[in-house]
Amino acid sequence: MSTIVQKYGGTSVGSVERIEHVADRIIKTVNEGNRVVVVVSAMGKSTDELVSLARQITEEPSKREMDMLLTTGEQVTIALLAMALHKRGKKATSLTGWQAGMGTEATHGSARITDIKTERILSLLEENHIVIVAGFQGKTANNEITTLGRGGSDTTAVALAAALKADRCDIYTDVTGVFTTDPRYVKTARKLQSISYDEMLEMANLGAGVLHPRAVEFAKNYQVPLMVASSMTEEIGTIIEEDVTVEQNLLIRGIAFENDVTKVTVAGLPNKIDTLPKLFTLLSNNNINVDIIIQNQYDEKSVNISFSMTQSSLKETLSILKGAQAELGFSDLFHEDELAKVSIIGSGMVSNPGVAAKMFDVLATNEIFIKMVSTSEIKVSVVVAEEDMVLAVEMLHKAFQLEEAETPVNVG
């Protein structure tokens, strides 16, 4: 008998009618001879509503109390889903994250999973129960309730699948799978039959919102096969696994993009061996995440260092750098807003050096100026003006023939 972990997102359980629909899907999986563990998110926009309630009390609520508040959203869903299954004559038990044995580090708001005690879940499965677990939450060694941050329910599902040695983890959402790019922006975007862990991890880190990077990391580390599919249809979704068995002749598997990017330039820094570590240790110690980094030698004694980051971190970053100007020894500070990052991803580019050149040529042909570049073995990212983002994605999608299944691309 196979063990299947299924995760249903907020849209999939956004109303009583949709919860009833999810119950029917779960029963179908059980009737196919599987043991099923279900992980659910809070219903629809209920988490946003809870946050709004907290903001009406105070603009700076305690992180501990926010975790106490937000975890109630998933508890509503698990109870209602269990009731829907009971109504259909099935044995089902709902468990909060801590009842399910989900242990986390002591960080409120963005805790990481440290261990999972599976005894209770396994015992219930042996008794032919469908086990329904609240996603996004866990408990510290000191019995403090925590939340896992953005994408926490995906992470819960994959971590449970790994701990239970499940045969598969199905992530049900409001899209039918992983697409070559966001179909809301590019009408010719095509659903992929499969994608590798590494490719999916790059896409998730670079702006594709289908899966959270932490969930993909768990899947890769523990070799958990994933499927991303829609809860609204019976359409087969996208398989995420180590070795992709189809479409291997595609050099580029997908295009990810994100806006609200800012470029910061620290000018006139001393041209010394400790300049880079001093600058980025300062930012790291203040929990500032940076992305693409470029260093240019200004003259024999000084260098300019530019890096990209999210717009939301800009104000704090500028304040930190200005406060440390004397210590760092730079002469000036600049920033450029309204930028976007566009990335092509594909394991096929490892042995095809012409891919980056083709990307640059496509952008230049369409008069899109490249401001920054970052590369790895399976991706090339560029920072461009935000107003050029959609055009860049459309032109690259067309140039690499991503709308066509299993079509080799000439990069020469």
Q: What is the pLDDT of residues 271-300, one digit of tens each?
A: 999 999 999 999 999 989 999 999 988 778
For the record, the structure tokens of 394 come out as 């459309």
Final residue before a domain boundary, out of 212, 241, 270 = 241
Q: 142 and 32 in one domain?
A: yes
Final residue before a domain boundary, out of 196, 215, 241 = 241
Burial class (CB in 10 A: 0-12, 13-18, 19+), 298: middle
Of 40-54, 128-142, 197-211, 390-404, the least confident: 197-211
Give the tens place of pLDDT for each residue, 380-389.
999 999 999 9
168-173: strand order across its sheet: 92-95, 130-134, 34-40, 2-8, 168-173, 226-230, 238-241, 194-196
Query: 56 CB contacts (<8 Å, ≥6 apart)?
Result: none
Q: Residue 149 pLDDT > 50, yes or no?
A: yes
Q: Which residue has the tokens 């990307």?
A: 359
Measured in whole angstroms, how far is the alpha carbon of residue 236 from the centre of its chain? 21
Q: Please give the Cα distance from 9 to 294 (Å, whole number).
A: 38
What is the 8-class DSSP label of residue 89? Answer: T
Output the CA–CA distances (angstroms, integers) from residue 108 to 76, 103, 119, 157, 244, in the order listed: 21, 13, 26, 20, 37
Q: Which amino acid is at 392?
A: A
Confirm whether 298 is domain-assigned: yes
Measured in whole angstroms, how far is the alpha carbon of residue 10 from the centre of its chain? 16
State the pTM of this model: 0.84
Pairing of strands 238-241, 254-270: unpaired
Confirm whether 411 is domain-assigned: no
Q: 180 and 40 in one domain?
A: yes
Final residue before a domain boundary, out of 210, 241, 272 = 241
Tally of domains within the chain: 2
| Helix 152-163 and helix 213-222, axial crossing angle in degrees, nearest 10 | 10
Q: Give the CATH number for residue 166.
A: 3.40.1160.10
User: Containing domain of residue 315, as a range?
Assistant: 249-402
Q: 101 and 46 in one domain?
A: yes
What pLDDT score was predicted for residue 142?
96
Q: 314 and 395 in one domain?
A: yes
Q: Please give the Cα distance from 204 to 196 (Å, whole number).
A: 12
What pLDDT score was predicted for residue 405?
58
